[in-house]
Amino acid sequence: MKSIIVPVDFSNQSEKALKVAASLAKQHDAELLVLHMLELSPAIMGESGYISQEQVVHLIKLGEQRFSDFLDQPYLKGIKVVPVIKHYKVFSEVAEVAEKHKADLIVMGSHGADGLQEIFIGSNTERVVRTSDIPVLVIKGDVEEFKPNHFVFASDFEEESVPALIKANEMADLLGSQLHLVYINTPGDEFLSTEDANAKISKFLDAAKVGMEVEIYNDYTVEKGVLNYSDKVSADLIGIPTHGRRGLSHFFMGSIGEDIANHSEAPVITFKI
């Protein structure tokens, strides 16, 4: 891992993500690209919707100073930090910065769910997930040192998810994590007998050219199964496949992927199919 991107907006969530990214950068001697996208608030606009060039320059300088102060953190000492400032809030630019700098990972903060608010879907984080070709690590809680021991990767084990598994396996090796593969078997039309599930999984693993064990875990819904299985193995990290610009993969249609990202206490990492 040579380069990590962290988009920040000065919130507590983005600082939590920055701490995790810093931990990873120290472990892997990687550079940290800290990205801030300036934006002009409608509150400062006049009735005409126009502000002078001098005001724009002043606001940009204020934003840049705040960015500089935000990066003055003891946990960033000894890390190569590259500040990147964009003057407009366009989330596809995160992917462009990643491509330009050959980044290996994007780390972002997210509120998740607090009983009143679930903001993964439609949030800044979800927009980045949709446009990113590289893995996106979603952080919610405080993590002093990010060293996941148990990494769960949940899949429908359809052939299109093979690239995601390969990336997850590589990430597990990089992080020194034990990778747990799980297939969630649910009641209804999607239910598979043990024989059929094993046949499907075997075909998938052959296509991925990996020899790994997969647990078939029965639960009422996919999202409950992923979360309950992750609790069972004390997972420090949960991986899910995505279709990028088309959103979450069909395995996570509707609210499944969002629910996992929102309700998981462990960090969630997405891999583009």
Per-residue model confidence as pLDDT tens digits over 33-42: 999 887 655 4
Distance of CA 58 to the CA centre of its chain: 34
This model's pTM is above 0.75: yes
Is residue 112 over pLDDT 60?
no
pLDDT of residue 71: 92
Range of lowest pLDDT (27-36, 82-91, 96-105): 82-91
Taking only the tens place, the pLDDT of each residue in 174-229 is 999 999 999 999 998 789 999 999 999 999 999 999 889 999 999 999 889 999 99
117 and 42 in a single domain? The answer is yes
The domain in which residue 73 lies consists of 1-144
Residue type present at position 79:
I
Do 131 and 204 lie in a common domain? no
Q: Are residues 68 and 27 in the same domain?
A: yes
Chosen domain end from 86, 109, 144: 144
Res. 245: pLDDT tops 70? no
Q: Which has the higher per-residue pLDDT, 255 or 92?
A: 92
Task: Give residue 118's pLDDT.
Answer: 42
112: region left, alpha or beta (phi > 0 left; psi from -120 to 50 alpha): left
HSE-CB at 26 with a 13 A cutoff on CA atoms is 14
Whether residues 55 and 182 share a domain: the answer is no
Residue 185 is predicted with a pLDDT of 95
CATH code of residue 19: 3.40.50.620
Angle at Cα 165 formed by Cα 272 and Cα 136, nearest 5°?
A: 40
Share of the chain above pLDDT 70, in %: 82
Does 49 or 261 have the greater pLDDT score?
A: 261
At 19-33, the pLDDT tens digits run: 999 999 999 999 999
Q: What is the pLDDT of residue 31?
A: 96
At position 145, the amino acid (one-letter code) is E
Count of other CB atoms within 10 angstroms of residue 66 = 13
Q: What is the DSSP letter of 112?
A: -
Q: Are residues 131 and 10 in the same domain?
A: yes
Residue pair 165/208 in contact (Cβ under 8 Å)? The answer is: yes
Q: Is 182 exposed, middle or buried (0-12, 13-18, 19+ CB in 10 A)?
A: buried
- Structural domain total, the chain: 2
Mean pLDDT calculated for residue range 55-63: 76
Which among 104, 125, 144 is the end of a domain?
144
The band of 149, judged by pLDDT with boundaries at 50, 70 and 90, is very high
Q: What is the pLDDT of residue 43?
A: 47
